[in-house]
Amino acid sequence: MKRVIAVLAASTCLGSAAFGDDDRIVVGFATAETGFMQAYDKPAQDAAMIRIAEINEAGGLLGKQIEVVNADTKTDRAEGAKAGLSVIDAGADIVVVSCDYDFGAPAALTAESSGLISFFLCAESIKAGIQGVGPNSFSASVLAPVQGATMAQWAYEKKEARSFYRLLDTWTEYNKGICDGFDYMLPQLADATLVGEDTFLNEDASIAAQITRIKGLPEEPDAIMLCTMMPGAVSAIKQLRAAGINSMILNGSGVDGSYWLSAVPDLSNFYTPVQGSIYGDDPNAEVTAFNAKFKEATGGDPSTQYTYPGYVMIDVWAKAVERAGTTETAAVVAELEKMNAEPTLFGPRTFTSELHHQNQARYLIVETNAGKPGVVDEWTISAPIPVADLMK
């Protein structure tokens, strides 16, 4: 692993850090303002802006006001690279890129080759960091496998689930990540069995054939690990329940939010891991206070937990800059990598020189019961998922 990093570092030496203009502190957002990703980038970016406003109100960072520059990626990879170059040319000290690894990577790569820090708003692939983009890249969210592992362990420990079914939507890396985490955790749970598995595609008009396979089992499984995301998730959940399958459904954070629940009336026995609760029942009152602030700033409540990583991102970066006393990339990265269980509003954050992402995290468990979601528990997997397992 060390060698990988060395190679990566060598390959990015070409870039120079000549663009940092030291009179200003500039955060560059190379995110989607239009197109498909806009709905996902915007809330996280709004949260980031709230944290920036807080810091500026409190006197700024290193005594300077944080400035912001934007460029639209238009949910297009080639445009993403241009947007990255645009904000770098506009003097950005940190390049904030799209929520999704695939769409954020082009801009992150431009930052990397210019020797700047890039931060994914909420990407949950291990590649959104050292392993994909390079040694100066970070993600503000938690790895997808942690979600799958969290749900498996929690359901086993707290709900006595023993027979699991794995239903994977092969559409994205995120989906596969959830199931990878589930696969990692399952063998560690004594007498838990995988009674079957199947795949589908997010855009499939019908998953009737997959459902038939589940119904063909001698016994309904205790839990179905559903590794999917919007928009296909709603369809899959609705079809599962319409077919009369009442097993507990375990999910990744991608299905968080109440906005879609009306599609599956009276949904029950449905569990989602979240970093913070948008339902006003977060154990931490400050989260609820943040929600109010968010509503004040944007006119609406956060619609999913993916709003929160934007806030965490500016928070940890600003702390690292403060500690380093500079926005110089190497110094800030070094400070970030020293963070070990650094407290944030949405759980502790750890970065190391091996991993710029969270391979263990405290998750709140949201249960949806009769169509009403609410926090029922809190769970942290017993040990971090080893980087080697994340890379397989």
Partner 1 sequence: MGSVMQVVFDAASLGSLYALGALGIALIFGVMRLVNFAHGDVIAACVFVLLWPSVDAVAIVFAGNLPWFLLVPFVLAMGAALSVASEVVVFRRFRNANPATMMIASFALGFVIRYFLLMLYSSRPKSISLLPTLSQPVEIMGARIPLLQVITIVVTIGVLFGLTSFLRRTRFGLEMRAAAENFTMARVLGVRANRVIMGAFALSGALAAAIALILGSQTGTANIVMGANVMLMAFIATVIGGMGSLAGAVIAGFLLGAIAVVMQVILPPDARAFRDAFVYGAVILVLIFRPQGLLTARGTKERV
Partner 2 sequence: MAPRTQRRSVALRTISTPLILAALLVAFALVAWASGSRPFNQTVIDIFLQVIFVVGLYVFVGNSGVISFGHIAFACLGGYVAAWTTIKPMMKGISMPGLPDWLMQLEIPFWAAALAGGAFAAFWALVFGAVLMRLSGIAASIATFAMLAMVNSIYSNWESVTAATSSVVGIPILRVLWPYLVAAILAVFAAWAYSISRHGLALRAARDEPTAAAASGIDIPRARLIAFVISGAIMGAGGALYAHSIGLVTPDTYYLGLTFTTLSMLVVGGMSSLSGAVLGVLILSSLIQALRWLEAGIDIGTTTFALPGGVQEIALGVVMIAILMFRPAGIMGNKELTWPTGRGNDKPGEPGETN
Binding to partner 1, residues 30-89 (CB under 8 A): 34-40, 75
Size of the site for partner 1 (CB under 8 A): 46
Site string for partner 1, 174-213 (x = CB under 8 A): -----------------------xxx-x-xxxx-xxx-xx
Q: At closest approach, how far in Å is the CB of 121 from partner 2?
A: 16
216 interface partner picked from partner 1, partner 2, none, CB below 5 to 8 A per type: partner 1
Among positions 86, 291, 304, 368, the unique one binding partner 2 when judged by CB under 8 A: 86
Interface with partner 1, residue 341, by CB under 8 A: no
3-class secondary structure per residue, the chain? CHHHHHHHHHHCCCCCCCCCCCCCEEEEEEECCCCCCHHHHHHHHHHHHHHHHHHHHCCCECCECEEEEEEECCCCHHHHHHHHHHHHHCCCCEEEECCCHHHHHHHHHHHHHCCCEEEECCCCCCHHHHHCCCCCEEECCECHHHHHHHHHHHHHHHHCCCEEEEEEECCCHHHHHHHHHHHHHHHHCCCCEEEEEEEECCCCCCCHHHHHHHHCCCCCCCEEEEECCCCHHHHHHHHHHHCCCCCEEECCHHHCCCCCHHHCCCCCCEEEEECCCCCCCCCCHHHHHHHHHHHHHHCCCCCCHHHHHHHHHHHHHHHHHHHHCCCCHHHHHHHHHCCCCECCCCCCECCCCCCCCECCCEEEEEEEECCEEEEEEEEECCCCCCHHHHHC
Q: At closest approach, how far in Å is the CB of 33 from partner 2?
A: 6
Site string for partner 1, 219-248 (x = CB under 8 A): -----------xx--xx--xx-xxxx----
Tokens of 30: 């190379």
For partner 2, which is the closer residue by CB, 11 or 206?
11
Interface with partner 1, residue 215, by CB under 8 A: yes
Interface with partner 1, residue 269, by CB under 8 A: no
Interface with partner 2, residue 81, by CB under 8 A: yes
143 interface partner picked from partner 2, partner 1, none, CB below 5 to 8 A per type: none
First vs last Cα of the chain: how many Å apart? 13
Q: At closest approach, how far in Å is the CB of 197 from partner 1?
A: 6
For partner 1, which is the closer residue by CB, 231 or 283?
231
Stretch that binds partner 2, among 98-106, 254-262, 315-323, 342-350 (CB under 8 A): 98-106
Dihedral of CA atoms 205, 207, 209, 210 in degrees, nearest 10, equals 150
As a whole number of angstroms, the distance between CA 286 and CA 369 comes to: 25
Interface with partner 1, residue 114, by CB under 8 A: no
Among positions 34, 65, 193, 206, the unique one binding partner 2 when judged by CB under 8 A: 34
Site string for partner 1, 126-165 (x = CB under 8 A): ----------------------------------------
Tokens of 199: 């795949």
Interface with partner 2, residue 145, by CB under 8 A: no
Do residues 75 and 34 touch, judged by C-beta distance below 8 A? yes
Interface with partner 2, residue 358, by CB under 8 A: no
Among positions 119, 156, 171, 317, the unique one binding partner 2 when judged by CB under 8 A: 171
Beta strands 25-31 and 94-97, pairing class: parallel
Residues that bind partner 1 (CB under 8 A): 34-40, 75, 170, 197-199, 201, 203-206, 208-210, 212-213, 215-216, 230-231, 234-235, 238-239, 241-244, 257-265, 300, 303-304
Residues that bind partner 2 (CB under 8 A): 3-4, 7-8, 11, 33-35, 38, 71-72, 74, 77-78, 80-83, 85-86, 88-89, 101-102, 105-106, 109-110, 113, 125, 127, 131-133, 170-173, 176, 391
